[in-house]
Structure formats: structure tokens, C-alpha cells
């Protein structure tokens, strides 16, 4: 026990127990060091905070980039290619766009026949390899499969790994084709047409390819988008669709649409068919909807 001989001794013993003693000692130490300790004391927490932020930063960014997306609905796509490694970016983009992608290196008849796919993507760059597969030849000859198939063209600037033979084989498929960077948009358009056709069949509406005629509203839709037609153009199209591919003569169309009392020549039919084709985005040279039968009239194109 320390001995007390004076008031100074008493103060020295009592100071550690007085309020504010620690702060006073720290201030005395800072004064003795010329402020250096103050800088260290203040910087240490700041540096620690910065270190903590720096350590958390990459993880926070990674977590933001990896934020999962839950798809409300998906469509199934079957991709057939002997070289799927060359199409990994397309496969990634399709998966990110909520498509279920199944990849086949070759055609397995038993597996593909048991699958219910919304669309088939065929690697046109490897068409010569695929076309030598007996299972693929059976597949491509199936109208139902062809109707739901698109060909993938090699990337722009990329050497076609199949060369001229592959291009010739792909042309024999006679399928719509798109490059990988265009494929998402093309797939959306294709599935929209299919959905419109199914909806027309379910509702009993007249339709042809991606055209649907709503007879109640006298409206025509192409790939889900409305086409603005005049009353005469609407009636012409409806007559062609209801004829189901039969040839309709100009005289027949004039009598049905313009009536027997109409005094005019058959050129009026040609003028309105030309206008109808233009609004449908059709071509007289390579028709998709309305085909000209020379010297007779018109019919639906094959």
C-alpha cells in the first residue's frame, strides 16, 4: 500500500480513478508526440474501414452480377450440332432468355421422337456432317419437324467449317436461316407465328401460314400484328383462304366481290391483288401467300 506524505501524493494516487483521466493522458501523449499519435489514431479506423469496403466490394459486385432470374415460363429448343462448342454463346443467350436448350451432337430418332420441342435449331455450318446421318435424313423429311426448324448460319467472318459442301447441303434443307447473333429475334418471330396459327385453329378462325382472319371484327393479323386492309382487300384474302388452295378465276372473283352488276374489266382484280400483296409484304415473283396462275387467276401459294 503506497504511503501518503503530502497532498501531491494523494493527488497522484487518486488521479487514475477520476473521470476524464484517460482522455487527459491521451492528450498529454499527443502533445508530447507533436500530434503524430493523433494522426495515427485517426487514420487507423479510416484505413480499416477502407480495407473492409475494398474486401466487400468485389463480392458485392459479383453478387449483383449473379442475381438469379426466375423464368415465369419457358419454351423448349433442341439444338442439333456435331460442334456445339462453336455455338456456346448462342446456347448461353438462349438459356438467359428463358429457353430450355437441349443439345444433340447427332440425331437419335428414338429420343427426338419422344421429345416435345417447340423449335429445332440445325447447325448449317456442319450440314454435310449432319446430312450423312441416316437419322437426320429421316428427321428433315418430316413435315412437322421442318415446320418447327431453323438453320444456324456460321458467324460472320468465321470460316465455314464445312466449306462448300456444307453450304450446298444446308440449301437442300430449304429452311429459314439466321446467324447466331440474329437467332433470338428470329426465334421469337417464328414462335409468334406458330402461336397465332394455333390460336386460329383453336378458335376456328380462318388462317393461312402466319395470317389469321378474325371474321367477327373483319380484321387480319400477320404474325400477331394487325394488317390494315380495305374492305375489298379483306374479302379477296378471305376468298383465297376459304378456297384452300383452289384456283379462283378473275371472273369468279369479280362476281363474288363486285357483283354481277359491276361493269368493268378484270384488271380491277389485278389492281386490288397487287395492293393486297404489298400490304402483306408478299411478292409476285416469289409469293408466300398469293400465287398468280397465268391466264386464269389466283390461288394460295404453297
Domains of the chain by start residue, with CATH: 7-65 (no CATH), 75-189 (3.40.50.2300), 205-300 (1.10.10.10)
Pick the residue with more confidence: 129 or 159?
Answer: 129
Mean pLDDT on 221-242: 88
**pTM: predicted TM-score of the whole model, two decimal places:** 0.47
Q: Of all residues in the chain, what percent carry a pLDDT higher than 90?
A: 19
Contact indicator for 195, 152 with CB cutoff of 8 Å: no
**Whole-angstrom Cα distance, residue 128 to residue 160?**
11
Cell numbers describing residue 224:
400477331
User: Over 50: is that where the pLDDT of 195 sits?
Assistant: yes
Average pLDDT, the chain: 76
User: Over 60: is that where the pLDDT of 243 sits?
Assistant: yes
Confidence (pLDDT) at 41? 43
**Whole-angstrom Cα distance, residue 276 to residue 269?**
10
Please state whether beta strands 211-214 and 207-208 pair in parallel, antiparallel, or not at all (unpaired): antiparallel
Confidence (pLDDT) at 275? 93
- At residue 121, the 3 state secondary structure works out as strand
DSSP E strands, the chain: 75-80, 99-104, 119-123, 149-152, 177-178, 207-208, 211-214, 219-222, 225-227, 248-249, 290-293, 297-300
Task: Average the pLDDT over each of 3-17, 36-50, 146-160 and give the range with the smallest value.
Answer: 36-50
Helix (H) or strand (E) holding 240: helix 231-242
Confidence (pLDDT) at 191? 77
Confidence (pLDDT) at 126? 87
Please state whether beta strands 75-80 and 99-104 pair in parallel, antiparallel, or not at all (unpaired): parallel
**pLDDT category of residue 6 using cuts at 50, 70 and 90:** low
Confidence (pLDDT) at 79? 94
**pLDDT category of residue 256 using cuts at 50, 70 and 90:** confident
Confidence (pLDDT) at 39? 44
A 10 A CB-CB count for 229 gives 20
Pick the residue with more confidence: 288 or 261?
Answer: 288
User: Over 90: is that where the pLDDT of 44 sits?
Assistant: no
Amino acid at each position: 500500500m503506497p504511503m501518503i506524505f503530502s497532498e501531491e501524493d494523494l493527488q497522484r494516487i487518486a488521479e487514475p480513478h477520476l473521470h476524464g483521466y484517460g482522455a487527459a493522458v491521451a492528450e498529454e501523449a499527443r502533445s508530447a508526440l507533436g500530434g503524430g499519435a493523433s494522426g495515427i489514431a485517426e487514420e487507423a479506423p479510416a484505413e480499416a474501414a477502407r480495407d473492409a469496403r475494398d474486401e466487400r466490394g468485389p463480392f458485392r459486385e459479383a453478387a449483383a452480377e449473379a442475381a438469379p432470374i426466375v423464368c415465369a415460363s419457358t419454351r423448349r429448343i433442341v439444338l442439333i450440332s456435331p460442334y456445339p462448342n462453336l455455338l456456346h454463346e448462342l446456347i448461353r443467350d438462349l438459356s438467359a432468355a428463358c429457353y430450355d436448350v437441349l443439345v444433340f451432337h447427332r440425331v437419335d430418332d428414338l429420343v427426338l421422337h419422344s421429345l416435345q420441342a417447340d423449335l429445332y435449331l440445325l447447325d448449317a455450318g456442319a450440314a454435310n456432317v449432319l446430312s450423312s446421318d441416316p437419322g437426320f435424313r429421316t428427321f428433315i423429311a418430316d413435315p412437322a419437324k421442318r415446320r418447327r426448324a431453323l438453320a444456324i448460319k456460321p458467324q460472320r467472318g468465321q470460316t465455314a467449317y464445312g466449306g462448300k459442301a456444307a453450304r450446298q447441303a444446308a440449301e437442300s434443307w430449304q429452311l429459314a436461316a439466321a446467324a447466331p447473333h440474329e437467332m433470338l429475334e428470329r426465334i421469337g418471330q417464328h414462335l409468334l407465328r406458330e402461336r397465332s396459327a394455333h390460336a386460329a385453329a383453336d378458335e376456328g378462325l380462318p388462317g393461312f401460314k402466319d395470317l389469321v382472319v378474325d371474321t367477327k371484327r373483319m380484321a387480319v393479323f400477320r404474325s400477331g400484328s394487325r394488317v390494315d386492309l380495305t374492305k375489298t382487300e379483306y374479302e379477296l384474302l378471305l376468298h383465297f383462304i376459304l378456297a384452300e388452295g383452289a384456283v379462283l378465276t378473275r371472273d369468279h372473283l369479280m362476281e363474288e366481290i363486285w357483283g354481277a352488276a359491276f361493269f368493268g374489266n378484270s384488271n380491277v382484280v389485278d389492281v386490288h391483288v397487287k395492293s393486297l400483296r404489298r400490304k402483306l409484304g408478299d411478292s409476285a415473283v416469289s409469293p408466300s401467300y398469293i400465287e398468280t396462275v397465268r391466264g386464269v387467276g389466283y390461288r394460295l401459294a404453297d
